[in-house]
């Protein structure tokens, strides 16, 4: 009775079949685990339907592409080998590269190869303040904005805040085209003149004045700042270091296999 009971408990019922392929109760139970009642039934029915459709299509593919099965098996084998070796490399490299690509390494590489990183567009740092055209203290605000004195700069900020003027500050590098989007510019007109001279510029529209303060400019074709290309430099160093470390790891595996006598290469003759 005990033996018969074990057989009953281990029996795996067939739920669906397509050709020689079977869907067993154990697989279905694993899919529906955690679901109850109608949810469990709905999940089971959906899985059975999808399983049957996949098997029908797979078996049709095997029939139609019978002459290509050798090539397909070769591709599958190559993919499996590639997947395994990539996983092995990831496990070997885990934690090793992070300690190599430090901020100082990135800065040093950038300093030595700065000519290799040039801007494909003009970028800048600066400020724009928008104020009503009839503001009586506009000259004062203009002069405060252009002052090098820290106290006067604070007065400028306080005056903007007190009057709720729109102040746009670009302390990080921004594209010139984006900077211009905050100004009343005309399409097709060249505004490069505001980039030069190191002085406060003005623009106006029907009801407002705009004061423009350009702090730094890097033009198209000039060496890029590290902030703009740091991620690129880091990826370059990562890929280079990864290739070197993987090469060394592959050599160590090969040499170890030679020493252990795992490798045999027959002579050409």
Give residue 5's pLDDT band: very low, low, confident or very high (50, 70, 90): very low
Give residue 96's pLDDT band: very low, low, confident or very high (50, 70, 90): confident
Tell how many helices (H) and how many strands (E) occur in the chain: 9, 6
pLDDT value of position 176: 97
99 or 104: which leads in pLDDT = 104
Taken in order 159, 162, 166, 171, is the CA torsion positive or negative? Answer: positive
pLDDT value of position 183: 97
Residues 165-178 have pLDDT tens digits of 999 999 999 999 99
Give residue 99's pLDDT band: very low, low, confident or very high (50, 70, 90): confident
d(CA 183, CA 201): 11
Residues 187-215 have pLDDT tens digits of 889 999 999 877 999 999 999 999 999 99
pTM, two decimals, is 0.65
Residues 122-151 have pLDDT tens digits of 999 999 999 999 999 999 999 999 999 999
CATH number of 119-218: 3.10.50
Percentage of residues in the chain with pLDDT exceeding 90?
83
Give residue 85's pLDDT band: very low, low, confident or very high (50, 70, 90): very high
CA proximity to 124, closest of 216, 21, 25: 216
- Find the mean pLDDT for residues 10-32: 88
The ranges assigned to domains in the chain are 2-64, 103-112+231-259, 119-218
pLDDT value of position 11: 58
Alpha helix (H) residue ranges in 168-225: 176-180
């Amino acid at each position: 009775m005990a033996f018969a009971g074990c057989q009953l408990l281990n029996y795996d019922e067939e739920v669906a079949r397509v050709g020689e392929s079977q869907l067993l109760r154990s697989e279905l139970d694993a899919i529906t685990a955690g679901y109850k009642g109608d949810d469990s039934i709905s999940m089971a029915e959906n899985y059975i339907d999808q399983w049957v459709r996949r098997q029908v299509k797979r078996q049709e593919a095997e029939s139609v592409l019978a002459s290509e099965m050798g090539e397909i098996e070769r591709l599958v084998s190559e993919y499996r080998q590639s997947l395994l070796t990539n996983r092995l490399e990831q496990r070997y490299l885990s934690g090793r590269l992070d300690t190599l690509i430090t901020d100082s390494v990135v800065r040093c590489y950038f300093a030595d190869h700065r000519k290799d990183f040039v801007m494909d567009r003009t970028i800048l740092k600066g400020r724009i303040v928008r104020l009503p055209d009839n503001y009586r203290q506009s000259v004062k605000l203009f002069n405060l904005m252009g002052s090098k004195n820290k106290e006067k700069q604070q007065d400028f900020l306080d005056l903007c805040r007190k009057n709720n003027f729109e102040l746009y500050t670009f302390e990080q590098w921004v594209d010139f085209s984006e900077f211009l989007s905050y100004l009343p510019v005309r399409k097709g007109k060249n505004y490069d003149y505001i980039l030069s001279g190191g002085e406060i510029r003005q623009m106006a529209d029907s009801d407002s004045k705009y004061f423009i303060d350009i702090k730094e400019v890097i033009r198209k074709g000039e060496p890029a700042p590290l902030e703009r290309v740091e991620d690129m430099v880091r990826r370059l160093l990562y890929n280079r270091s990864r290739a070197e470390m993987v090469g060394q790891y592959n050599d160590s595996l090969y040499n170890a296999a030679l020493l252990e006598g795992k490798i045999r290469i027959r002579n050409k003759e």
